[in-house]
Amino acid sequence: MYTVKQIKDTFLNYFEKNGHKIIDGASIVPENDPTLLFINAGMAPMKKVFTGEEAPQAKRMCNIQNCIRTIDIDSIGDRHHLSSFYMLGSWSIGDYFKEGAISYAFELLTKGFSIPKEKLYVTVFSGDEKRKIPADTESIEFWKKVGIADSHIIRCGFEDNFWRIGGDHDAGPCGPCTEMFYDTGAKHGASLEESGIFDDKNRYIEIWNAGVFMEYYQDENGNYSKLNMKSVDTGSGLERMLMTLNGLESAYDTEIFLPIIEYLKNNCSSPIIESLRIIADHVRTSILILNAKVEPSNVKRGYVLRRLIRRAIRHMRTIGLSDDKIPELLDLTMQNMKNIDLEPKWNFSKQEIIEKFMAEFAKFSKTLEQGLKAFNEYVKDEKNIVNNKLDSKIAFKLFDTYGFPLEITKELAKEKNLIVDEKEFNELFEKHREISKTEGTFKSGLADTSEETIKLHTATHLLQAGLRHVLGNYVSQKGSNITPERLRFDFNFERKMTADELKAVEDFVNEAISKEIPVIREEMKLEDAKKTGAIGLFTDKYGDNVSVYTIGNISKELCSGPHVSNTKELGHFKILKEESSSSGIRRIKAVVEK
Ligand code: SER
């Protein structure tokens, strides 16, 4: 049996022997790369090296990089999909190209890992007319040259054999690739020779992307240009390699997961295989993400983490694992990482990681039971189901009220033979997120919702109206912070205000107060809010209801409140100070007095 350590050592030693420098893996949270949530390939932290913008540590390099890929989260629980994995990667930066990469890959697999060449199949890029990228005929020749039979070389199109960092709109270095597959034998289906079909889901398992031939650059409009330098990027999933080399049925049978799966089996009441795998996978990935200093939340990385933790918890319930076993399960997972020589550089103690996981557990476990009950009630009501589809508003409500990530609702629905429309859910999710963001922005930095703070909040709206009246309508809010003692308001204006101007603004506000004007809140569509001339941050992204506060014909602002109901509640408005905040931005501090 191969161990993780043997695979790592064989891989790194082989490339080191062939002149490659062993470099450190990066954190799974990308540095200075807002386009990427998590590092998803060994080359991701060095994109700029391929474009020539950054110098490489060496022309030939290799490493082991922890990667997170949650795009296939629905497939996790099958034989070999995982949400995190370690990538064995090697690179040539402007050094050897197709021939070198292919001969290294072949030699490492057949000699280093002793795989008979008859068990290997390779795919090569067959070209793409629309994008004007030619077929990779050279790689075919190099494969034949090292000894791969023509019948084991499969030509594939853009989707399979052109590697790029994301989709049509993600800019980055890219190129045709050639991948190596291992034949797991007749027990996993018909061979290519028998059926004419290359079954890469079951029988043939991809073990190495033996070369992305980085010679193109895709811009954000999906146009291609040639890079100045030709490079090679390779990557192999360690977990898959371990499973394949050991002839195992699944990645969960390897030393990476086996002790965890065994523990779960011994401590639960109904060991459903899929749930065991999902728990083992998600717990491991959650630990790695928590260790990378990400906290569970409803946005971006934090939301990926939240989904993993919550889905794991729901499956723990499914198999009947008692809550008091969870810390032990986490502890065991971390201990196992150490035992098999696959642990990250710890940023926290084990105890701290367990506490972070359990804090999210505590949040979710409160609503999980109620949510499950609510789900069962919802599906009893026919109006929530049309053509076997659960109303997306229900899926969203389960998220919003009970904290159910979509995967959980989808799984519950599946058990009842129902489907959930992911697209509609995501639309509702985005809309909700944008509204909260907008409301967050326009919460205007309220320190609390005491009576004094609320008065000052309404005064802030009047102040903004006054500034626009006196200085011009181009003036607008750039920041706001309100405590019970004072308001602080930042706005764009290029110079110090004169005493007269300040007096005029003060008078404007006090006049509005003396007129005893009601403050009216209305909910309306964003589109309609725009038409009313309300001020605030408008973006195209969000849809339905926003709230708008109107004070007579003086002020109309997109705002989530709260506000007083009539300006007469404010008392006397007084500006204390006007000063520079930063370049082109002025700051006013003001109070209201009885
Ligand atoms: N970047 C390539 C991949 O992810 C090779 O590592 O497959």
Instruction: Name the domain boundary from 406, 435, 464.
Output: 435
**Within a domain: residue 445?**
no
Same-domain pairing of 393 and 489: no
Long-range own/partner contacts, residues 220-228 (CB < 8 A, 24 or more apart)? 220/169, 220/170, 220/171, 221/169, 222/168, 222/169, 224/131, 224/132, 224/133, 224/174, 227/50, 227/51, 227/52, 227/173, 228/52
**Within a domain: residue 559?**
yes
CB atoms within 10 A of CB 199: 14
Structural domain boundaries enclosing 577: 451-593
**Within a domain: residue 460?**
yes
Mutate to test the pocket of ligand 1, among 209, 231, 236 (most ligand atoms within 8 A of CB): 209
The secondary element (H helix, E strand) that includes residue 555 is strand 555-558
Same-domain pairing of 279 and 216: no
CATH number, position 23: 3.30.930.10
CB atoms within 10 A of CB 24: 10
- Could you write out the three-class secondary structure of 58-117? CCEEEEEEEEECCCCHHHCCCCCCCCEEEEEEEEECCCCCHHHHHHHHHHHHHHHCCCCH
- Please answer whether residues 354 and 330 qualify as being in contact, where contact means their C-beta atoms are separated by less than 8 angstroms: yes
CB atoms within 10 A of CB 416: 12
The secondary element (H helix, E strand) that includes residue 593 is strand 585-593
Mutate to test the pocket of ligand 1, among 234, 236, 241 (most ligand atoms within 8 A of CB): 234
Same-domain pairing of 178 and 318: no
Same-domain pairing of 70 and 215: yes
275 burial level (CB within 10 Å; 0-12, 13-18, 19+): buried
Residue type for position 446: L
Closest C-alpha to ligand 1, atom 1: 41
Task: Quote the pLDDT of residue 79.
Answer: 81
What does the alpha-carbon distance between residue 550 and residue 534 come to, in Å, rounded to a whole number?
8
Q: What is the pTM of this model?
A: 0.74
What does the alpha-carbon distance between residue 251 and residue 235 come to, in Å, rounded to a whole number?
17
- For residue 217, the CA-to-ligand 1 centroid distance in Å is 15
Question: Which atom of ligand 1 lies closest to the CA of 236?
Answer: 6
- For residue 101, the CA-to-ligand 1 centroid distance in Å is 13
CA atoms within 13 A on the CB side of 403: 23
What does the alpha-carbon distance between residue 61 and residue 578 come to, in Å, rounded to a whole number?
58
The secondary element (H helix, E strand) that includes residue 180 is strand 172-183
Tokens describing residue 316: 């723990």
Same-domain pairing of 456 and 581: yes
Same-domain pairing of 199 and 63: yes
**Within a domain: residue 212?**
yes
What does the alpha-carbon distance between residue 175 and residue 110 come to, in Å, rounded to a whole number?
26
Question: Which atom of ligand 1 lies closest to the CA of 44?
Answer: 1
Helices (H) and strands (E) in the chain, counts: 18, 19
Question: Which atom of ligand 1 lies closest to the CA of 179?
Answer: 7
- For residue 165, the CA-to-ligand 1 centroid distance in Å is 9
Number of domains in the chain: 3
Task: Quote the pLDDT of residue 448.
Answer: 75
- For residue 259, the CA-to-ligand 1 centroid distance in Å is 29
- Please answer whether residues 73 and 44 qualify as being in contact, where contact means their C-beta atoms are separated by less than 8 angstroms: no
Tokens describing residue 531: 């038409």
Mutate to test the pocket of ligand 1, among 15, 43, 214, 216 (most ligand atoms within 8 A of CB): 43
Closest C-alpha to ligand 1, atom 4: 41
Between the CA of residue 435 and those of 321, 439, 525, 527, 562, what are the distances in Å? Answer: 38, 6, 11, 13, 16
**Within a domain: residue 440?**
no
- For residue 123, the CA-to-ligand 1 centroid distance in Å is 14
Closest C-alpha to ligand 1, atom 6: 235
Same-domain pairing of 472 and 534: yes
**Within a domain: residue 553?**
yes
- Could you write out the three-class secondary structure of 116-128? CHHHEEEEEECCE
327 burial level (CB within 10 Å; 0-12, 13-18, 19+): middle
CATH number, position 561: 3.30.980.10
Nearest alpha carbon to residue 577 among 567, 590, 565, 568: 590
Instruction: Name the domain boundary from 435, 469, 504.
Output: 435
What does the alpha-carbon distance between residue 297 and residue 405 come to, in Å, rounded to a whole number?
11
- For residue 134, the CA-to-ligand 1 centroid distance in Å is 20
Same-domain pairing of 279 and 403: yes
Residues lining ligand 1, CB < 6 A? 41-43, 89, 163, 209, 212, 233-235
- For residue 433, the CA-to-ligand 1 centroid distance in Å is 32
Task: Quote the pLDDT of residue 410.
Answer: 93
- Please answer whether residues 65 and 25 qualify as being in contact, where contact means their C-beta atoms are separated by less than 8 angstroms: yes
What does the alpha-carbon distance between residue 375 and residue 249 come to, in Å, rounded to a whole number?
35
- Please answer whether residues 363 and 305 qualify as being in contact, where contact means their C-beta atoms are separated by less than 8 angstroms: no
Q: What is the pLDDT of residues 104-153, one digit of tens each?
A: 999 999 999 999 999 999 999 999 999 999 999 999 999 999 999 999 99
- For residue 90, the CA-to-ligand 1 centroid distance in Å is 10
**Within a domain: residue 441?**
no
CA angle 559/565/571 to nearest 5° reads 105
Q: Which residues of 26-44 are buried (b: 16+ CB within 10 A; e: fewer)?
A: bbbbbeeeeebbbbbbbbb
What does the alpha-carbon distance between residue 34 and residue 371 come to, in Å, rounded to a whole number?
34
What does the alpha-carbon distance between residue 2 and residue 108 come to, in Å, rounded to a whole number?
15
- Please answer whether residues 72 and 81 qualify as being in contact, where contact means their C-beta atoms are separated by less than 8 angstroms: yes
β-bridge mates for residue 73, sequence order: none
CA atoms within 13 A on the CB side of 74: 8
Same-domain pairing of 167 and 63: yes
**Within a domain: residue 545?**
yes
Same-domain pairing of 71 and 149: yes
Instruction: Name the domain boundary from 250, 280, 303.
Output: 250
Task: Quote the pLDDT of residue 442.
Answer: 44
Could you tell me the sign of the dihedral formed by the alpha carbons of 66, 72, 75, 79, in that order?
negative
What does the alpha-carbon distance between residue 545 and residue 270 come to, in Å, rounded to a whole number?
45
CA atoms within 13 A on the CB side of 162: 25
Tens of each residue's pLDDT in the chain, 594 residues: 999 999 999 999 999 999 999 999 999 999 878 778 999 999 999 999 999 999 999 999 999 999 999 877 777 888 878 999 999 999 999 999 999 999 999 999 999 999 999 999 999 999 999 999 999 999 999 999 999 999 999 999 999 999 998 888 888 999 999 999 999 999 999 999 999 999 998 999 999 999 999 999 999 889 999 999 999 999 999 999 999 999 999 999 999 999 999 999 999 999 999 999 999 999 999 999 999 999 998 888 999 999 999 999 999 999 999 999 999 999 999 999 999 999 999 999 999 999 999 999 999 998 898 899 999 999 999 899 998 999 999 999 999 889 998 989 999 999 999 999 999 998 888 877 766 655 544 455 777 777 888 999 999 999 999 999 999 998 999 888 898 889 999 999 999 999 999 999 999 999 999 999 999 998 888 888 888 889 876 554 445 678 899 999 999 998 878 899 999 999 999 999 999 988 888 999 999 987
186 burial level (CB within 10 Å; 0-12, 13-18, 19+): exposed
Beta-carbon contacts of residue 403 (< 8 Å; ≥ 6 apart): 310, 363, 364, 367, 368, 371
Same-domain pairing of 213 and 337: no
- For residue 240, the CA-to-ligand 1 centroid distance in Å is 14
Same-domain pairing of 301 and 228: no
